[in-house]
Amino acid sequence: MTSYLIGLIGSGIGPSLSPALHEQEAAELGLRYLYRRLDLDVLGRPAAEVLEAARLAGFDGLNVTHPAKQQLLGQLDELSPEAAALGAVNTVVFDGGRAIGHNTDTTGFAGSLSRGLPDAAMESVLLLGAGGAGAAVGHALLSLGTGTLHVHDVDADRAATLVSALCERFGAGRAVVGDLGALRFADGLVHATPTGMANYPGSPVPASALRPELWVADIVYRPLETDLLRAAAARGCRVLHGGGMVVLQAADSFRLFTGVEPDAERMLRHFRELAALEGKAVYARG
């Protein structure tokens, strides 16, 4: 039986559902597949050292999450065109000792938004967060036809850098540096920072700024019912949790690790089963 050793690098990843998602799909496909958490908080080592340790230990690949998606760029031997354009990786494949970086967050988010909010107006969208995940989401939103993307980040320079990269790829004026004031007229809001995760509780937006006409998507999936989505639903907004993105990016990563086509629909069903076991609310399809 073909076997794979895969890991997840990030901080506070104890509750991650990625191991269960990957291992269950591998079992369905008849693959021996071990998926291990490499929690930076537990190991007490920088991401670069953990990457090299995984390479030496014979790992076949790694998923990468906050805060390492941009930190590891300089440690990799090669980047896929998508990862290079985004300036962030969420997947590393080891091939003959070489570490090759990929990014499946863009396709994961695009697929989730198309499934969960297929008719969402996208003339004007506010993106909160310009880090590794925010970059992937920004590229996905413009690829899906967003007219103007307003990018806000607590680090103004980081927001400006992402806007510049987006305009270079999609055209001048397609992205602009924005702020929460864009909520007065935006069609949608996408949240792509760690706020709302178990280790970073709270909401990045005051509930009073949310209009019923606004759709709200959060990439956080632990918990599914973030403070932001709870407040948005209470204000009458259409909402989309981060579960679909995590499953669909996982399916794309699985394909890169194994060369085997996963069943994305089966993985989505498995995710819903795992979420139901935890008693989490599911707001939108897929």
Do residues 219 and 189 lie in contact, with contact meaning Cβ atoms separated by under 8 Å? no
Task: Round to whole Å and give the CA distance between 265 and 263.
Answer: 6
Query: Any alpha helices (H) in 117-261, and if so which ranges?
Result: 132-143, 156-170, 227-234, 243-258
Catalytic: which of 40, 61, 64, 69?
69
Question: In the chain, where do the E strands start and end?
Answer: 3-10, 32-39, 61-64, 78-79, 91-95, 98-102, 124-128, 148-152, 175-177, 188-191, 215-218, 238-240
Q: Phi and psi at residue 217, in whole multiples of 5°?
A: -120, 140
Bridge partner residues of 189 (DSSP): 126, 216
Task: Mark residue 268 as left, alpha or beta (left: phi above 0; alpha: psi -120 to 50; beta: remaining).
Answer: alpha
Task: Mark residue 219 as left, alpha or beta (left: phi above 0; alpha: psi -120 to 50; beta: remaining).
Answer: alpha
69 is catalytic: yes
Residues involved in catalysis: 69
